[in-house]
Amino acid sequence: MKRLLKRVMHQLPSHLFRKRMLAAVTGTILIVAGNAGSVQADSTLETVYHVYVDGNHIGSLEEKKAFTNLTEALVDTYKEEYPDLSLQIEERIQIIPEMVFDTRVSSNQAQTLEKLEALLSVKAKATALEVNGDAILYVNGEEAAKDVLKDFIVQYTSDEQFEAFLNRQVEEATPQLEVGERFTENIELTEEIELKEVLIEPQAVLSPKKAVEALNKGVRKEQIYQVKEGDVLGSIAHAHDLTMNDLLSLNPELKEDSILQIGQEITVMAYEPVTEVKITELRKVEEAILYETEVKEDDSLWKGEQRVTQQGAKGTRIVDYTIVKKSGETIHREKTNVEIVKEPVKKIIVKGTKEMPSRGTGSLSWPAVGGYISSYQGERWGRFHKGIDIARPSNYNILAADNGKVTFAGTSGGYGNMVRINHNNGMETLYAHLRSIDVRVGQTVTQGQKIGVMGSTGNSTGIHLHFEVYQNGQLKNPMDYLN
């Protein structure tokens, strides 16, 4: 349930803490009373002072000044080290005078002062920050406590945002935000802090900076740790800032040489936050709307081909968010309003589905763009020339002689760069000395499709295409098949 905010001293909302006065913090109390009854004046009567500490009689003094000197001396021993603290004697002291005839009978001042020095303790008047009744730290006064809480909170927001939040009246309506603006709707602590006046050892009182660090760190509590691969007792103790003895005390069933099992549960001490800063923020932002991509099939395009028929375009929207963060981490994010400024435009891609035939027609087309046969199949230079050579084409593109599937595309000895196509009808064709190859093994090609560029790689005397034909694995004369 949302807490109502009120202004308190130093601009700190009272819903962040509650103040509780400690009535018992009264310091030294001197109770001086006369003798009971009526005593006639007598020059032989003298006064002794009976001293009680927390209700217990410890002795008598011949003069009150001896007590004052002792307590001032005790306080002075701390003043030099803690000059900013309000120091006082913690115990409740009563001093009751009595008229007597002989002070030596009723008083032993030296012994009484010795007992007082042993019993009295000097404490600092401080403010405790408590959570659920447990004191988590002490600072020098209520104002210091408020400063600590403010510094703890503004770690997760700015001073300006915090001040604007504090200055806003509860009944004020939420403002209309412009794009890019934010508004802090609420700031609260997950656990209420209670302020309490106490007397405490001076060394326990923290500076504001140390107090904020203590709040950030939290308090140490027992936790269960599951053993992971590679863990040993020493590494577990070190990771949790424990000594080996500390760890063994928490786990009496373990010894220093105990063998740990993965998944075994061990008790450790770890820090847990005592309270966290929870901030609710409103934001108005402009966002891009991503466009969708639609893919359409087209049987007039070869399979593997595609083209974009409509370019996509992002849209724009204005979004109102409610964002809840705890100690800087977002724990809830909700869209409260969305306004579409510009609709996105869908991207449309057309993909081809037309299958390329891998079976040849049986009739081979000319594998080059023009050109002439510079060498036929047969004996040449003392050895058999397996195919025909085609030279001087109109351009250097090499074309598939028929439909088929590429079975080789690479370098092969004297052939240089070579492509071999199986036409799946018993025929194969071979293309050699290519400058570059445009197809890959396994690719289906169609008759007349470019498969490479004419060159002079391998054993070649110039730029030309060496072309061979095979039928059922037997070398054939290309001139018998070329159309």
Per residue in 225-270, pLDDT tens?
999 999 999 999 999 889 999 999 999 999 999 999 999 999 998 8
Handedness of CA 313, 318, 323, 328 (dihedral sign): positive
The reply to whether CATH 1.10.3720.10 applies to domain 368-480 is no
CA distances from 330 to 135, 278, 325, 326 (A): 29, 10, 4, 6
Q: What pLDDT, on a 0 to 100 scale, did the predictor assign at position 270?
A: 84
Fold of domain 282-354 = Resuscitation-promoting factor rpfb fold (2.20.230)
- The ranges assigned to domains in the chain are 18-123, 130-272, 282-354, 368-480
Q: What pLDDT, on a 0 to 100 scale, did the predictor assign at position 280?
A: 95
Please count the CA atoms within 13 angstroms of the CA of 455 that sit on its side-chain side.
Answer: 18
- Closest to 478 in 3D by CA, of 403, 435, 413, 428: 428
Q: Which residues pair with 444 in a beta bridge?
A: 405
Confidence bin at 26 (pLDDT 50/70/90): very low
Q: What pLDDT, on a 0 to 100 scale, did the predictor assign at position 9?
A: 30
Fold of domain 130-272 = Membrane-bound Lytic Murein Transglycosylase D; Chain A (3.10.350)
Residue 416: how many CB atoms within 10 A of its CB?
Answer: 18
When pLDDT is averaged across residues 451-464 and rounded to a whole number, the result is 95
For 202, the token pair is 């001076």
pLDDT at 441 over 60: yes
Lowest mean pLDDT among 92-96, 271-275, 299-303: 299-303
- Residue 94, Cα to own-chain centre: how many angstroms? 59
For the chain, give the mean pLDDT.
Answer: 88
Q: What is the pLDDT of residues 77-116, one digit of tens each?
A: 999 899 999 999 999 999 999 887 765 555 688 999 999 9
pLDDT at 20 over 70: no
